[in-house]
Amino acid sequence: MAGGTEAFPDLGKHCQFSGCHQLDFLPFKCQACRKVFCLEHKSCKSHECPKLEHNSRKVIICEICSTSIEITGKEDQEKMILEKHEKSGDCDPRKKKKPTCPVRRCKETLTFSNRTVCKACGLEVCLKHRFPADHACKQVSSSAPAAARGGWNDKFLAAFNLRNGKDCGKSGRSSSSTTPSLKAY
């Protein structure tokens, strides 16, 4: 069956799936059987490719250590490869458990991008509990930074008391002169 239309006979290809034969202007070529298919039948499963195992790749997860193992080829090799993995020294059940946030009722898994260490107590927590008030921070000692102990609050209160009720915006100016700096005409 030739592709294209009467005006453009070389434009597009017909789907080679039996029962479809749709004219597709952007056809897909199967890497295994080298036939041309439409968008609906482009995957090996959808057009029941006889050479499915040619370049098929599958990843299985070991239930013992949660390691991912890539398999190329037939599916009957899956059990054999898992047994080989278990017998090798790479399969370690301690690898399975990933660290979680120690805050009560938080089940967030600590990964590279969502963990932080509290500067006050040194506890490693998730980003939701990064502030000391969120993880019931127990401050380590008096050698902790002043900001972590609340020293910044004392400095603020001392500066606030120095004002003695004065308006900061009018310091150095006489309060009686209310002449505007710009004149309106």
82-122 pLDDT, tens per residue?
888 888 877 877 766 678 898 888 888 888 888 899 888 88
Is residue 148 a part of any domain in this protein? no
Q: Quote the number of domains for the chain.
A: 3
Same domain, 91 and 104: no
Same domain, 46 and 65: no
Tokens at 109, concatenated:
């898994």
Same domain, 104 and 125: yes
61 beta partners: 68
Structural domain that includes position 124: 98-141
Same domain, 63 and 44: no
Is residue 77 a part of any domain in this protein? yes
Alpha-carbon span 131 to 155, nearest angstrom: 21
**Conformation bin of residue 161: beta by default, left when phi > 0, alpha when psi is -120 to 50:** alpha
pTM: 0.33
Could you please report the per-residue DSSP string of 69-128? EEEES-TTHHHHHHHHHHHSTT--GGGTPPPB--STT---B--SSSEEE-TTT--EEEGG
